Structure 1
Amino acid sequence: MDTSKIIELLVVGALGALCSILANRGIAVFNDGLRPVVPEFLEGKIGKKEIAATSFALSFGLVIGFGIPVSIGASIILVHSILLATDIIGSWSPVGKKGIIIAGVVGAAYGVGITLGLQAVVDLFAKMPVDFLPSLAMVGTPVVVAFSIFPAVAIAYQHGFKKGAISFALVGLTLFAVKKFGTFTLSGGTTFTLSAEGMSLLVGMILMIIFAVGVKGDGDANQNLMSIFMERVNRIKKNWILLSAVGGLVSAATSLLMIAGDPISLNLLSDGKYSEAALAAFARGIGFIPLVFSTAIVTGVYSPAGTTFVFVVGILLRGNPILAFVVGALVMFIEIMLLNGMAKGLDKFPGVREMGEHIRTSMNKVLEVALLIGGAMASEAMAPGIGYFWVIGLYLLNRTAKKPLVDLAVGPVAAIALGIIVNILYLVGLFTPVVAG
């Protein structure tokens, strides 16, 4: 095993260990739904069994049904596959020093295991009689183009159809104009091409912020929360060293292109579109500021990825994990110290506070459609004439299931399942692939 691989495993092992320990101590959890439950456990209102069961119920399905399938399709680990699992590991580990040790060891083993295991799965798929990995990579194809749409969708959710439609038109015009005229020849004959997707996203984000800032207010909702929950805010600040360290590890792992914070930036990174991936991650960070800060103020529990700007640091400093760790830790520290000030700022601009929820909603909607289309494209490439039938059928049937997969996961899961099925059919002589591996 070469040195670079050892460094990667050490980083992801340390990330798994520290995140599990933070979850065990109730300092930080990744699942937004689990964060409000942690104080109930810390205050003795619920027991260890209850919080462990809650963590498992909230996170396990997302790890198996969403995080891992999306990761296999792109060969970069979606961070949900690690940090949702460390929530479970930390919650299930016992209280006290013994629990901290168990959480750290199991968390480290899990981090290393999923890294090696994911590659093993990819290698296994590649050795199958019908190699469907090239087709599976198509799952992320629509995501690369679709990610620039979400600001217009967010504007429509927050400000109505008319402003959303105007924004969509301007974003579309930018996309067309940059694709048509975005290549320039510099002195010396060097050509420089602007990213059409990146520029259109930038235009959409500028419009989104302009509309949001225009919503004025003089409320003090978050500041009132600050006065009520100051003790919980101080609890977060007291653990700034551990939180800064985990922020640094997230940035370091991202800089090594081991993890990504969301499917959009993950697919962009897989395509080598690093600037666009950083911009997408930055937009996601803006959307998570209100959610993470508000839940932190109320619960005294932070997120191991903070407001997710640590992923931006990792992307911008790719290939330099040491510097990424330092800068990522600094970003996390600044976030924690800004808790009070951000609460005041969000009160002055309630439109910005509300914008965060609409960004998250629009991103999820765009991803649901893009991953479903991508899954259908990949499935049709594997089995022409069957793929679209398969994915659309599973998507609709899933909605009637007692425990359905999240909509985001249906496309990738359906494509992986069909890839395995066509291999079985090939072995028994019932399927003839377009190209047999």
Structure 2
Amino acid sequence: MLEPILIVSIGVVAAIMANLGIAVFNDGLRPIVPENLEGRMTRKELSVTAFAMSFGLVIGFGIPISIAGSILLIHSILLGTDIIGLTFNKGKINTAIAGVLGGLYGAGIYLGLQAVVKVFESLPLNFVDGFNLVGEPVVVSFMVFPAIAVALQFTIKKGILTFLVSAIARQIIVFLNTEELISIGDAPVVLSPEGIALVVGMTFLMIFAMKEKSTEQNLSQLATLFVDRVNRIKKNIWLIMVSGALISAATNLLIIAGDPISLNLLSEGRLSEGGIAALAKAVGFVPLIASTAIATGVYGPAGFTFVFGAGILAPNPLIAAILGAVIIFLEVYLLSKMAKFLDRYPGVRASGENIRTAMTRVLEVALLIGGANAANAIVPGFGFYAIAGFYLLNEAGGRPIVRMAVGPLGAIAVGIIGNILVLLGLFTPPA
């Protein structure tokens, strides 16, 4: 019973925090929440905005990725609880209602994922195995994002340099693993090529970013300007710590994952690599999340997302929960120092948005390729045709479906169409 209890608890706590304006998961919503808290936006306007910004990502991104890996992508839960919490006005009764609905939503997502996978497995054309290919390119492609972020912020030449050095580092690790040249005693040590490439890329990004410094005269003084908002986060730290503990424990049990990359690694049983990927992603998002938290006084239910890496690498759920709570505590109480650091290095602060843009672009391409491969494995030939058509028609129609969702949703559609073709006798499933 521990798994559903954790998911329900995460839903309850996250919905309550969203309702009270303490924390929301959607980075785009964080700057908008204070508009309501300070009386410049009605709750109805805020709830409509939250729905518009998050619902499509839940349906088109979070749930399809979760089905592909049989592990819940945290977006499926926390984007939904953002909507639930922000729908109700603040108040003891409304906050309690938001919490109850958040818990029910978490239970529905947890049980619904299992039900959907079982339904897919029982169909005449079982496309679960084929659909699992959706995430295959994501792990390898993800190592490109630091180079893209460098290119966006520091010129294409530096981006190409970062890409080439990262690629070379990856191939060196592949060679060392193949030849078993690294060992402890008689046991060969296998390193993650993609993880090393990611670390190399992030190193280049941080070096370029930290070359840009502010003088004493032009410091923006984030810490001074937003001291009241940082104190507001500290005031609510206990509830955020509970959220961090629950999320870390659930990650340890492999119920949830914080991003598609670590999710796919965990679904393949590559726990250490998944932990490294989760931590690397968290490092990349620190400037963005720290800046928005300091400026708005609204935190995230998973903090800087280090709780996911800690949960993966912890030996058991109890230790994971303790680590999750401690990590959130340290993050919140270091916010003022982070503000001073971001003041001193504006290049690092600016890198946050570029990192987010780079990750989005990489995921758009990787999930489109993965969706095409999955669709073609389900219905050979027709799969490539369907995904190409789906993508181009979506673009021609003004992109009603976010690009990241086209591949996964297209693969599901091909699986459903394939089953219809089997029932009509127009398609024989591959052996």
TM range (shorter): over 0.9
Query: What's the CA shift string for 1:154-200, capped at 9, x where partnerless?
Result: 22222212222122111111222221222247477433322222222
For 1:382, the equivalent position in structure 2 comes to: 378
CA contact (8 A) 1:78 1:260 kept: yes
Shift of the 212–264 alpha-carbon distance from structure 1 to 2, 3 Å rule, reads same
Residue 342 (structure 2) aligned to one of 336, 342, 346: 346
Shift of the 222–341 alpha-carbon distance from structure 1 to 2, 3 Å rule, reads farther
For 1:142, the equivalent position in structure 2 comes to: 137
Which amino acid is the alignment partner of residue 428 of structure 2?
T
For 1:301, the equivalent position in structure 2 comes to: 298
Are positions 1:79 and 2:74 aligned together? yes
Shift of the 131–220 alpha-carbon distance from structure 1 to 2, 3 Å rule, reads farther
Q: What do you get for the CA RMSD once the two structures are aligned?
A: 1.7
Q: CA deviation at 1:402?
A: 5.0
- The alignment covers a number of residue pairs equal to 429
Query: What's the CA shift string for 1:40-71, capped at 9, x where partnerless?
Result: 22222222222221111111111111110111
Residue 234 (structure 2) aligned to one of 237, 244, 266: 237
- SS of 2:194's equivalent in the other structure is helix
CA contact (8 A) 1:284 1:359 kept: no
For 1:153, the equivalent position in structure 2 comes to: 148
Residue 401 (structure 1) aligned to one of 397, 400, 405: 397
Shift of the 293–137 alpha-carbon distance from structure 1 to 2, 3 Å rule, reads same
Cα distance in 2 for residues equivalent to 1:162 and 1:342 = 30
Which amino acid is the alignment partner of residue 112 of structure 1?
A
For 1:360, the equivalent position in structure 2 comes to: 356
Shift of the 43–189 alpha-carbon distance from structure 1 to 2, 3 Å rule, reads closer
What pairs up with 1:96-245 in 2 under 5 angstroms? 96-182=91-177, 183-184=180-181, 186=183, 189-218=186-215, 224-245=221-242
For 1:263, the equivalent position in structure 2 comes to: 260
CA contact (8 A) 2:176 2:182 kept: no
Which amino acid is the alignment partner of residue 196 of structure 2?
M
Q: CA deviation at 1:331?
A: 0.7
For 1:432, the equivalent position in structure 2 comes to: 428
What TM-score comes out, normalization by structure 1 length? 0.94
Query: What's the CA shift string for 1:64-120, capped at 9, x where partnerless?
Result: 111101111111111110000001111123431111211111111111111111011
Residue 53 (structure 1) aligned to one of 25, 42, 48: 48
Q: CA deviation at 1:263?
A: 1.0
For 1:3, the equivalent position in structure 2 comes to: none
What are the ranges of 5 or more consecutive residues in structure 2 without an aligned counterpart?
A: none
For 1:276, the equivalent position in structure 2 comes to: 273
CA contact (8 A) 2:149 2:355 kept: yes
What are the ranges of 5 or more consecutive residues in structure 1 without an aligned counterpart?
A: 1-5
CA contact (8 A) 1:223 1:343 kept: no
Cα distance in 2 for residues equivalent to 1:227 and 1:185 = 49
Are positions 1:320 and 2:316 aligned together? yes
Cα distance in 2 for residues equivalent to 1:148 and 1:415 = 24
Cα distance in 1 for residues equivalent to 2:256 and 2:361 = 22
Q: Give me the identity figure in percent.
A: 53
Q: CA deviation at 1:219?
A: 6.2
- SS of 2:407's equivalent in the other structure is helix
Shift of the 128–222 alpha-carbon distance from structure 1 to 2, 3 Å rule, reads farther
Query: What's the CA shift string for 1:325-351, capped at 9, x where partnerless?
Result: 111111111111111110111122222
- SS of 1:193's equivalent in the other structure is coil
Shift of the 375–247 alpha-carbon distance from structure 1 to 2, 3 Å rule, reads same
- SS of 2:189's equivalent in the other structure is strand
Which amino acid is the alignment partner of residue 40 of structure 1?
E
What TM-score comes out, normalization by structure 2 length? 0.95
Cα distance in 2 for residues equivalent to 1:337 and 1:357 = 23
Cα distance in 1 for residues equivalent to 2:192 and 2:31 = 40
Shift of the 275–47 alpha-carbon distance from structure 1 to 2, 3 Å rule, reads same
For 1:12, the equivalent position in structure 2 comes to: 7
Cα distance in 2 for residues equivalent to 1:219 and 1:68 = 48
Shift of the 220–54 alpha-carbon distance from structure 1 to 2, 3 Å rule, reads farther
Cα distance in 2 for residues equivalent to 1:359 and 1:45 = 30
- SS of 2:39's equivalent in the other structure is coil
For 1:310, the equivalent position in structure 2 comes to: 307
Cα distance in 1 for residues equivalent to 2:174 and 2:328 = 36
- SS of 2:396's equivalent in the other structure is coil
Are positions 1:410 and 2:409 aligned together? no
For 1:89, the equivalent position in structure 2 comes to: 84
CA contact (8 A) 1:222 1:346 kept: no
